[in-house]
Amino acid sequence: MILTAALGIPLLGALALAFWPRWQEQQARVFAIITAVVPLLLMLWSWVRFDPSGPLFQLVEEVEWVPSLGMGFRLGVDGIALAIATMSALLFTAAAAYPVDTKGMPRQYYAWVLFLESVSLGVFLSLDLLLFYVFFDLNLVGMYFLIGRWGHGRPQYSALKFFLYTLLGSLALLLAILGLYLASEPRTFDMRELIAQQPLAGVAPAAGLVLLGFVLGFAIKTPLVPFHTWLPQAHVDAPAPASAILAGVLLKMGTFGLIRIPYSMMRQTFADYALWLAILAVISILYGAVVALGQGDLKRRIAYTSINHMGYTVLGIAVAGALLEGSETARQLALTGATIEMVAHGLITGSLFLIAGSFWERGKSYDMDYYGGLGAKAPMMTGLTALAAFASLGLPGLAGFVAEFHIFVGTFGVYPWLAGIALLGILITAALFLQMLQRLFFGKLPPQWSGFPDLRVSEWTVLGVLLAFVVIIGVYPSFLIDIIEPTSRWLVGAG
């Protein structure tokens, strides 16, 4: 019941907020934080209960729903899902706790955040294909309202663009799910069953089309170049905590989905096309980094680095699935690295977007050249931003390096050339993050910022917790790797 509770409690919390009209701002906020912490604690408990040497899927809960169709309410975790779900729960707590202008609608705002938490955890925890799809789509709704109602700039436009673009991906995904379902015998939506069956293995054109559907759906969500243009716009106009969730949690559904469905359930077909996916990932890595360097808008810059980092994740996944056997160690490293990258990117980019929100709150602008010289004025903000920026550019001792090193070493064992090309990405990210720090915190302080306030307690505690985990993963990665490794070993077929 742990997993059901983890996604049920925030849902109940959301309903309570929605139908409890007398709550004021502060009450709603405290209630939301407390409710958001519960799934985090439950995930930590699952972490303790999870046995790395046990079966692949653990803590399984299953209720038959429509047995004739093979549908059911099935939840469970492997090491990868556990790591990502725990990170997501942490990020949701941070998002709920980070101060934000709720525009006089605190109940509704926090209700949507909790709703989003519930359905996001649902994506990572479900072991039923249909359930996965429903949760996957419900995310769009939650995010649509958070951007559309509490955003700034052109929120309606951005929210709608986000919604329609990613819904298009969902449709491709739905068709692919149906294709996979129809090929299963006996027909089922049970993921464990589908992984065991490997339907569509050897059914050449159909398998390719179904894979295309999955990859298209997840590539839009991740996003990979050239399906990425919804992302920067959505980020710029979204409120900071929603941006953090969008980058930290929602993007992961694309890469997590890639591992969970096409990678696991269509091993043969995935291996056939893995090189193409890897090339697309390398293009995203370089393109995302270069275009990020060209952005003068703080949030757009961070958004494009997300494309770069998610490119690393997809590269790791593609490498891991490139072969059915051989190079097991390298592929295992790549998949472990891809998972760590998801966790690391969630924490790091989540922090960066929250910081961007603090800039918006103080200056109502994301233009980096509008700021400058804030280092002496806001040392706490400078220090935490520098920490997050260095983590994002892959400095050793912080989480991003652990992830990227695994991915590079793994990739080199399978596609040496792609590894060499992708490596250039870390040089460009170094350039762009140092330049970002330079424009915001170094140089002369413009006179209008002589009263620029440093981070408040409510801001730096949240950032401090997120970044503390970035440091912990960087210096003590074994606690995370030990959870992920058995799963990635199983998934690359090394037993």
Shorter beta-carbon distance to other proteins: residue 86 or 382: 382
Residue 325 — left, alpha, or beta (φ > 0 → left; ψ -120 to 50 → alpha)? beta
User: Which residue in the set 424, 465, 471, 472 belongs to the binding site for other proteins (CB under 8 A)?
Assistant: 424
User: Cα(99)–Cα(357) distance, rounded to whole angstroms?
Assistant: 9
Identity of residue 158: S
Q: Report how far residue 131's alpha carbon sits from residue 129's, in angstroms, rounded to the nearest whole number.
A: 5
Asked if 293 touches other proteins (CB under 8 A), the answer is yes
Q: Which is nearer to other proteins, 329 or 365 (CB)?
A: 329
Q: How far is the CB of 403 from other proteins (least distance, A)?
A: 12
Closer residue to other proteins (CB): 76 or 179: 179
Given the rule CB under 8 A, which of 193-201, 266-274, 413-421, 459-467 is the region that contacts other proteins?
Answer: 413-421
* Of the candidates 258, 255, 311, the residue with the CA atom closest to the CA atom of residue 283: 311
CB of 93 to other proteins, least distance (A): 22
Q: Is 295 in the site for other proteins (CB under 8 A)?
A: yes
Q: Rounded to the nearest whole angstrom, what is the least distance from the CB of residue 445 to other proteins in the complex?
A: 8
Mark the segment that binds other proteins (CB under 8 A) among 82-90, 210-218, 258-266, 473-481.
473-481
Q: Which stretch binds other proteins (CB under 8 A): 85-93, 354-362, 448-456, 478-486?
A: 478-486
Taking CB under 8 A as the criterion, which residues in 90-109 touch other proteins?
A: 107-108
Figure out which of the listed residues 110, 115, 371, 469 binds other proteins, where binding follows CB under 8 A.
115
CB 305, min distance to other proteins, A: 13
Q: What is the SS3 assignment for the chain? A: CHHHHHHHHHHHHHHHHHCCCCCCHHHHHHHHHHHHHHHHHHHHHHHHHCCCCCCCCEEEEEEEEEHHHCEEEEEEECHHHHHHHHHHHHHHHHHHHCCCCCCCCHHHHHHHHHHHHHHHHHHHHECEHHHHHHHHHHHHHHHHHHHHHHCCCCHHHHHHHHHHHHHHHHHHHHHHHHHHHHHCCCCCCEHHHHHHHCCCCCCHHHHHHHHHHHHHHHHHHCCCCCCCCHHHHHHHHCCHHHHHHHHHHHHHHHHHHHHHHHHHHCHHHHHHHHHHHHHHHHHHHHHHHHHHHCCCEHHHHHHHHHHHHHHHHHHHHHHHCCCCCCCHHHHHHHHHHHHHHHHHHHHHHHHHHHHHHHHHHHHCCCEHHHCCCCCCCCHHHHHHHHHHHHHHCCCCCCHHHHHHHHHHHHHHHHCHHHHHHHHHHHHHHHHHHHHHHHHHHCCCCCHHHCCCCCCCHHHHHHHHHHHHHHHHHHHCCHHHHHHHHHHHHHHCCCC
Q: Which of 28, 114, 183, 419 binds other proteins (CB under 8 A)?
A: 419
Radius of gyration of the chain (CA): 21
| Residue 40 or 291 having the CB closest to other proteins | 291
In the bound state with other proteins, the residue whose beta carbon lies nearer, of 275 and 445, is 445
> Residues 303-342: x/- map of binding to other proteins (CB under 8 A)?
--------------------------xx-xx--x------
Query: Among the candidate windows 4-12, 29-37, 259-267, 431-439, which touches other proteins by CB under 8 A?
Result: 431-439
Instruction: Give burial (CB, 10 Å; 0-12/13-18/19+) of 310.
Output: buried
Instruction: Give the residues across from 58 on adjacent strands.
Output: 77
Per-residue binding string, other proteins, 2-21, x by CB under 8 A, is: ----------------x---
Among 31, 92, 98, 133, binds other proteins (CB under 8 A): 133
Q: Is 243 in the site for other proteins (CB under 8 A)?
A: no
Under rule CB under 8 A, residue 138 binds other proteins: yes
Q: Is 130 in the site for other proteins (CB under 8 A)?
A: yes
Q: Which of residues 372-411 bind other proteins (CB under 8 A)?
A: 373, 375-376, 390, 394-397, 401-402, 405-406, 408-409, 411
Which residue number, 111 or 302, has a Cβ lying nearer to other proteins?
Answer: 111
Site size for other proteins, by CB under 8 A?
Answer: 80
Question: Which one among 37, 206, 271, 290 touches other proteins, defined by CB under 8 A?
Answer: 290
Tell me whether residue 2 or residue 209 sits nearer to other proteins (CB atom).
209
Residue 204, token pair as written in the block: 């050449």
- Dist. CA 45–CA 261, nearest whole Å: 26
List the x/- string, 32-71, binding to other proteins by CB under 8 A.
----------------------------------x--x--
**Which range of residues in 31-39, 53-61, 310-318, 432-440 is near other proteins by CB under 8 A?**
432-440
**471 is an interface residue for other proteins by CB under 8 A:** no
**By CB under 8 A, residue 234 contacts other proteins:** no
Q: Which of 40, 191 has the CB closer to other proteins?
A: 191
Q: Residues 2, 12, 174, 206: which binds other proteins (CB under 8 A)? A: 174
453 binds other proteins (CB under 8 A): no
